[in-house]
Amino acid sequence: MVRKHAKIPAGTFLVSLAAAAFLVLAACSDGGSGSSQETDETTENTEKKDENTEKEDEKTDGNTVTSRKISLSDAPTGYGTYSAITSNPTTVTTRSELIDAVAKGGLIYVSGMIDMSDGMLPNEAGGTTNSLDGFVKEKDSSFSSYNDFYTKYTGACTYETNDKSSSTSSQAGESTYRTKLWNLNKEYQKIVCLNLNDNTAIIGKDSSSGIKGGSIQINGKKNVTIRNLVIQDAYDPFPHHEKEDGFNAELDGICVQGTTENIWIDHCTLKDTMHYKLTNVVAKTGGYEKWQTYDGLCDIKGNANSVTVSYCRFENHDKTMLIGSDDTESVSVTRQVTLHHNYFLNCGQRLPMVRITNVHVFNNLYDTDSEKYYDQQYAIGVRAKAQIIAENNYFGTEITKAFNGSSNTTKVGDDKTDMVSDTKLYESGNTNGKKANSDYYTVVSAMPYTIPYEYNLQSPAEAKTSVLADAGAGCTLTE
């Protein structure tokens, strides 16, 4: 099925829908969503593909492996447009080189995995390193080590403790260590956060290029793309306690916020590698609470607008993607986000969770496998004033709720405004698109707004094949 005719990026082979069964994904594109053109183009383009087979294939241990490719001239499909940055690249291999490069902006190639934590990232959640122990002691001499901080802070918290605010003034329900906790958290963020500038393109050189232990911040910026990167373990060792909600982390793999527009996140792999029990801190009589050192993999909030996330892999995470930080969030723009051809594997919830945003979600894959750690709660959260168009997504059989509402939508703000009528879901052609708590959103039979860009819509089965073959980092860059 075609929603208008897509603009096909250079390097993408054109085939007809009738010949889709014979399609071999020979190129990694921005995510043009697969190809569908008139039948009489098939022969010409099949011949074109055959002419390039030798160039596109690599031999590994006697087996033919199709090479995936991206180009600097690729363009996104979706709300997030992008003016290509193609000249004067800087290649970085270390944390200091990367920090220097993003301060200038422009085209940046990342070669190899860069540890943004400067040696403080532990091997397991809640663990420590010599560098982390030294950091804690240097920043606050009242703690002798990270474990000393951990023991004292958790011991000062109860189920009712509320250390959510980082304000310097006293807060109701705070612990005796709230100020110390937030001082350590802020100092740690100065080290691990990578703050991007306008007109920046960060591209990984291969499947083992990216960052670990850090957080990419796109705050109030324009024309930014992140492609072909592995973004691993955005780890926050200083989570704060929230009333009746345990200890919560601050850092995301990627955070898009502020008055930001024209952002493209493409062919990235965002994942956690530390599996741990969340209930390992006693702070409640007769029970345990989570010590959670991860927040989101990719969160979008504030006045962020015109964002496309395409052909990415999100792996082994709980609260994966938040779009809109609060039911009463004040925004001056209509947030517009496109998610297509992404793979959500072994992710527990928020795939995404949407508030006060127009989100177009098409041709994504949601699934689990034997490595699943987090309980699968739901895929797409339909929350206050969300306007969601969901088309031809593939939800695996273990995805318990494809779409899920919340009773919070009926009690937003001080006046407990009922926003159910303003919270809309249009869904069409999805596989296993089970709805839950649908009393808290309105299912509509027509799209609640017009999609302003051209896109090609695959069937869920075709999308699953495309996503499995092409999502995530590991492409070869052609300049």
pLDDT digits 0-9 by tens, 233-259: 999 999 999 998 889 999 999 999 999
Q: Mean pLDDT throughout 162-172?
A: 91
Which of these, 249, 202, 194, lies nearest to 228 by C-alpha position? 202
The reported pLDDT for the residue numbered 78 is: 97
- Structure confidence at residue 125 (pLDDT): 87
**pTM assigned to the model:** 0.86
Stretch (H or E) spanning 456: strand 455-456
For residue 289, pLDDT beyond 70: yes
Q: What is the mean pLDDT of residues 56-79?
A: 67
Residues of the chain with pLDDT > 70, as a percent, come to 83
> Region 189-211: what's the mean pLDDT?
96
Separation in Å, CA 467 to CA 43, 152, 251, 256, 458: 25, 46, 27, 24, 11
Q: Check residue 10 and give its pLDDT.
A: 34
Tally of residues, the chain? 479
pLDDT in tens, 370-403: 989 889 999 999 999 999 999 999 999 999 899 9
More confident residue, 479 or 70: 70
Angle of helix 146-155 relative to helix 178-192, nearest 10 degrees?
140
Cα gap 404→414, rounded to integer Å: 24
Q: Assign residue 363 a region: left if phi > 0, alpha if psi is -120 to 50, beta otherwise?
A: left
Q: How confident is the model at residue 285 (pLDDT cuts 50, 70, 90)?
A: low
Nearest to 426 by CA among 401, 403, 459: 403
Q: What is the pLDDT of residues 303-353, one digit of tens each?
A: 999 999 999 999 999 999 999 998 888 888 889 999 999 999 999 999 999
- Per-residue pLDDT for 279 more than 50? no
Cα–Cα distance measured from residue 343 to residue 207, given in angstroms and rounded to the nearest whole number: 16
Euclidean distance between CA atoms 213 and 431, whole angstroms: 35
Start-to-end CA distance of the chain, whole Å, equals: 32
Q: What percent of the chain has pLDDT over 90?
A: 71
Cβ neighbors of 132 (< 8 A, separation 6 or more) are 120, 122, 146, 237
DSSP H or E run through 227 = strand 222-227
pLDDT (mean) for 292-298: 94
| Mean pLDDT, the chain, whole residue set | 86
CB atoms within 10 A of CB 336: 22
Whether 60 shows a pLDDT value over 60: the answer reads no
pLDDT bracket for residue 281 (50, 70, 90): low
Distance CA 147, CA 127 (A): 8
What is the per-residue pLDDT across 419-463, written as a single tens digit (0 to 9) for each? 999 999 999 999 999 999 999 999 999 999 999 999 999 999 999
Question: What pLDDT, on a 0 to 100 scale, did the predictor assign at position 328?
Answer: 84
Token digits for 129? 């390193």
Supply the pLDDT for residue 288: 75
pLDDT of residue 2: 55
Three-class secondary structure of residue 437 per DSSP = coil
Which ranges in 57-113 belong to alpha helices (H)?
Answer: 95-104
Q: Which helix (H) or strand (E) holds 46?
A: helix 42-56
269-271/69-71 β-pairing: unpaired
Q: How confident is the model at residue 64 (pLDDT cuts 50, 70, 90)?
A: very low
Query: What are 396-428's pLDDT values in tens digits?
Result: 999 989 999 999 888 877 766 789 999 999 999
Q: What digits encode the pLDDT tens for the residues 8-32?
A: 333 333 333 333 333 333 334 444 4
Closest alpha carbon to 348 in 283, 404, 388, 307:
404
Per-residue CA distances from 101 to 34, 109, 112, 233, 252 (Å)? 34, 10, 15, 22, 21
Question: What integer pLDDT is reported at residue 280 of this predicted model?
Answer: 52
Instruction: Tell me the two tokens of residue 60.
Output: 């590994």
Question: Per-residue confidence at 79, pLDDT binned at 50, 70, 90?
Answer: very high
As annotated, the active-site residues are: 350
Say if residues 366 and 395 touch (Cβ distance below 8 Å). yes
pLDDT at 332: 83
Structure tokens given for 43: 């022969």
pLDDT in the model for residue 129:
98
Residue 138 has pLDDT above 80, yes or no: yes
**Distance separating alpha carbons of residues 417 and 408, to the nearest angstrom:** 10
- Helix H segments across 89-207? 95-104, 130-139, 146-155, 178-192
pLDDT of residue 291: 85
CA atoms within 13 A on the CB side of 55: 10
Q: What is the DSSP string of 289-302?
A: EEB-----SEEE-T
CA neighbor of 310 nearest in space, from 467, 458, 431: 467
**Cβ of 55: how many Cβ atoms within 10 Å?**
10
